[in-house]
Amino acid sequence: MQIKLWPVVALAATVCVVARAGAPDSSFDFPPTATVMNAFDSATAHRRAHSLVSKMTLSEKLQFIHSEYAMSSVPGGGAGYIQGVPRLGIPDLNMVDSSTGSGSTSQPSTTFPSTIGVAASWDRGLSSAFGKRIAIELREQGFGMGLGGGTNLAREPRAGRLFEFLGEDPLLAGQMLAERTDGTQSQKVIATIKHFAGNEQEYNRMGGNSQIDERTLREIYLLPFEIAAKRAQPGSVMCSYNELNGTYACENSHLLSDVLKNDWHFEGQVQSDWGATHSTANAINAGLDEEEDVGSTVYLTPAAVQQAIANGSVSTARLDDMVERKLYVMIRTGVMDNPPKGGGTIDFAGANAFAQAVEEQSMVLLKNDSNQLPLSAASLSRIAVIGAHADAAVLTGGGSGNTRDPVTGAFAGCGGLTFGTSTGCGWWTNPWLKLNTPIVAAIQALAPSAQVSFAGNSDQQSPFSAYTQQQIQQAAALAARSDVAIVFVAQPAGEDFGDLQSLELANPSNQDALVEAVASANPRTIVVVESGNPVLMPWKDSVAAIVEAWYPGEGGGNAIANVLFGKVNPSGKLPVTFPVHDQDTPTWGQNGTYEANPVYAEKLDMGYRWYDAKNIAPMFEFGYGLSYTHFSYSGLSVAHRPDGALDVSFTVRNDGRVAGAEVPQVYLGVPYSGEPPRRLVGWEKVAMNPGETRHVRITVTPRMQSVWDTSRNGWRYVAGGTVYVGASSRDIRLQGS
Ligand code: NOJ
């Protein structure tokens, strides 16, 4: 088997891997990312920004803290626009959504895989490259700011926007976000991280009051933001729609001032989500620096702020601070002196290849009975490919976290697919992405002498119409006369159309029946899941192999085929728990009803911490993922350093027959009341050839051993505890104290 080694090259040169987990209020705990690259150092940028503010008139300042809404009229098709001050050399600033690619409404963009997939790669370098690659397109399109850094945690596994976040663990999410941020800003594009904070569900997203105690906030929900803010210095933090403990996030002074600006020393700007501002003086005095308006009720208009200054409810010093923060960010990132011009040429072929590479690193092999995968083309004469429009398209996530004008084919009218009707099909709600090389074609290319046949939803119907009994029978009949049956199932989700009712495959309905029927017809049935959320799999025991492909992006056809045929050895690990039943999840509540004002009553026991604390067996646990090779672990040593850090060392060996990459994970059981059994405190992704042994050393900083002590409103270092090293949160291979 020929295995593609990407991005192994960088790791191969390293003999000893040293990973530093994040931690408290020092550069020791959250050291800057390796490549933080700023056009100017902080002190110089502050001086320049300060001097510019002193030269600005009041009206110039007022225009600088309020973005005009006009999704369609923002230059370049962006989401917001701040007018510059030409006489002072301050350029215009255009911003655009960028979760999985540019959200420009008027310019073609590459659709990359969803960011939950990037988290599943557990590859920091990949996350940095992801942020960089998207930023390159943004700059060419004329955007100086990308809004793509979503990192609300997967408390609600049914949440509509899970695909554009980074999973359920704060360290994994924070580290991956820091890298992405850094990659973006290395290209002179300001990065935004969002949505700050407590915005873990779509239900009642504009009006919900998230009730989260301070310890849970600090240890879980704020931590990814803290890590990214300290390590990568994003230019902007976007406050969220919801209230947090009774006060709107965008006027919550505890959140924006006490924590973000004072405790964490954040020097950038706070921008509101679109329409998330609810007051003028309150919001400004709480720490909001810029309003993004949605055209109706607006609070930081020049007139409103001028009036607040006149009546003394906002000080001119605070207005200067708001403006200075934005100028500082523009200067530091290089946008001020080198603003993007737009109209550039994008290397779409290169971006497509990168999108494919990201997907190849993101896919998670969940089941592989008797090594059914990888497939060997030589032994297959007839291959059945079934379902999810695998002959033409892949699913992507809906809402602002999507590209709007994909280079592979427009979404509008279902992207040129022959779905027959465009009902419910479009970039926001049902975004099927047309592929240049669809999955069926990519499979055919790898198995040129096999007959590859497709069965599934007719393109003459709505793309989400239920599978009929007749279609299911046809698919089963095709499977019965084939050597292997590959079934694709899809779970659409997105922003603003609520959370999923259940983790069951529901849209189109009858997908479970389709899988069951195919599996009864052919014991060699492989299921590939396209989803942004965990999925229930009542058919898990009836099929031979399962691959989670997330929302695969425009390189998805080739990437999926490469994994199925072993040109790429899968190395992804789940960033989110896959439960057996909806009822097992911490937020199921009374018959799955949603809370309009969610109380985070499970406190620290969220994600895998919940399953561990309650002793509930998940279907596939956090951190889980198989490979076509096998890794063994040995030789754990835990050394305490005088500075409080732990050096955790061990050896991993690839004792299989093909090259592959493993993600050894370090968990810590912190002996303190209320703590869950284990928390992730570090990991590394190591690529190894067959027979190769790697020594891995992971540094666990004091913060990752600490708890938030509410009695003194600060971090408390907790000595001792048990160190676990595993291939997942439950597949613990080594243990020490
Ligand atoms: C609302 C979304 O919540 C946010 O993530 C996005 O950046 C803005 N709309 C702009 O499109």
Residue 425 pLDDT > 60, yes or no? no
Instruction: Please write the tens of the pLDDT for every residue from 55-91.
Output: 999 999 999 999 876 555 667 889 998 999 999 999 9
User: What distance in angstroms lies between residue 97's CA and the mean position of ligand 1's atoms?
Assistant: 7
User: What distance in angstroms lies between residue 309's CA and the mean position of ligand 1's atoms?
Assistant: 29
DSSP secondary-structure letter at 540? G
Which pair of structure tokens corresponds to residue 266?
A: 């954040």
User: What distance in angstroms lies between residue 96's CA and the mean position of ligand 1's atoms?
Assistant: 9
Output the pLDDT for position 409. 64
What average pLDDT does the segment 646-655 reach?
97
Is there a contact between 368 and 626 (Cβ–Cβ < 8 Å)? yes
- Pocket perturbation via mutation, ligand 1, pick of 147, 190, 201 by most ligand atoms within 8 A of CB: 147
**709: β partners:** 714
What average pLDDT does the segment 346-352 reach?
97
Instruction: State the catalytic residues.
Output: 273
Specify the residue with its C-alpha closest to ligand 1, atom 9: 274
Is there a contact between 100 and 396 (Cβ–Cβ < 8 Å)? yes
Residue 5 pLDDT > 50, yes or no? no
User: What distance in angstroms lies between residue 388's CA and the mean position of ligand 1's atoms?
Assistant: 28
What is the end-to-end Cα distance of the chain in Å, rounded?
40
From the CB of 274, is ligand 1 less than 6 Å away?
yes
Would you call 669 helix, strand, or coil by DSSP?
strand
**Helices 170-185 and 124-141: angle between axes, nearest 10 degrees:** 40
412: pLDDT confidence band, cut at 50, 70 and 90? very low
- CA–CA distance, 283 with 279 (Å, rounded to integer): 6
Residue 708 pLDDT > 50, yes or no? yes
What average pLDDT does the segment 683-711 reach?
97
Which atom of ligand 1 is nearest to 205's Cα?
Answer: 3
What average pLDDT does the segment 390-405 reach?
89
- CA–CA distance, 275 with 252 (Å, rounded to integer): 15
What average pLDDT does the segment 298-318 reach?
96
Distance of CA 178 to the CA centre of its chain: 12
Which atom of ligand 1 is nearest to 192's Cα?
Answer: 7
Output the pLDDT for position 282. 98
One-character DSSP codes across 285-322:
HHT--BEE--SSS-SSSHHHHHHHHHTTSS-HHHHHHH
The correct CATH number of 70-77+91-310 out of 1.20.1250.20, 3.10.129.10, 3.20.20.300, 3.50.50.60 is: 3.20.20.300
Weakest-pLDDT range from 79-83, 249-253, 321-325 = 79-83
- Pocket perturbation via mutation, ligand 1, pick of 95, 274, 291, 428 by most ligand atoms within 8 A of CB: 274
Residue 388 pLDDT > 60, yes or no? yes
Bridge-based pairing of strands 484-491 and 382-386 is parallel
Output the pLDDT for position 132. 98
Output the pLDDT for position 705. 96
Name 326's Cβ contacts closer than 8 Å, sequence gap at least 6: 64, 65, 82, 269, 289, 290
From the CB of 147, is ligand 1 less than 6 Å away?
yes
Tell me which architecture the domain covering 348-592 has in CATH: 3-Layer(aba) Sandwich (3.40)
Weakest-pLDDT range from 195-199, 237-241, 428-432, 657-661 = 428-432
From the CB of 273, is ligand 1 less than 6 Å away?
yes
Domain boundaries, the chain: 70-77+91-310, 348-592
Instruction: Please write the tens of the pLDDT for every residue from 577-590.
Output: 999 999 999 999 87
Is there a contact between 405 and 521 (Cβ–Cβ < 8 Å)? no
Query: Would the CA dihedral through 398, 400, 406, 409 be positive or negative?
Result: positive
Q: Which long-range contacts (CB under 8 A, 24 or more apart) does 275-280 make?
A: 275/206, 275/241, 276/239, 276/240, 276/241, 276/248, 276/249, 276/250, 277/250, 277/251, 278/248, 278/250, 278/251, 279/248, 279/251, 280/304, 280/305, 280/307, 280/308, 280/313, 280/314
Residue 497 pLDDT > 80, yes or no? no
Which atom of ligand 1 is nearest to 400's Cα?
Answer: 11
Specify the residue with its C-alpha closest to ligand 1, atom 1: 274
How many CB atoms neighbour CB 596 within 10 A? Answer: 11
Instruction: Please write the tens of the pLDDT for every residue from 93-152.
Output: 999 999 999 999 889 999 999 999 999 999 999 999 999 999 999 999 999 999 999 999
Specify the residue with its C-alpha closest to ligand 1, atom 8: 274
User: What distance in angstroms lies between residue 360's CA and the mean position of ligand 1's atoms?
Assistant: 28
From the CB of 99, is ligand 1 less than 6 Å away?
no
Residue 439 pLDDT > 90, yes or no? yes
What average pLDDT does the segment 31-45 reach?
76
How many CB atoms neighbour CB 14 within 10 A? Answer: 11
User: What distance in angstroms lies between residue 273's CA and the mean position of ligand 1's atoms?
Assistant: 6
Which atom of ligand 1 is nearest to 195's Cα?
Answer: 5
Which atom of ligand 1 is nearest to 194's Cα?
Answer: 5
To the nearest 10°, the Cα dihedral for 210, 213, 219, 222?
40
Residue 3 pLDDT > 70, yes or no? no
Percent of the chain exceeding pLDDT 70 equals: 91
Residue 462 pLDDT > 70, yes or no? no
From the CB of 67, is ligand 1 less than 6 Å away?
no
User: What distance in angstroms lies between residue 427's CA and the mean position of ligand 1's atoms?
Assistant: 15
Mean of the per-residue pLDDT values for the chain? 91
Output the pLDDT for position 123. 98
Which atom of ligand 1 is nearest to 103's Cα?
Answer: 11
From the CB of 79, is ligand 1 less than 6 Å away?
yes
Output the pLDDT for position 236. 98
Output the pLDDT for position 424. 47
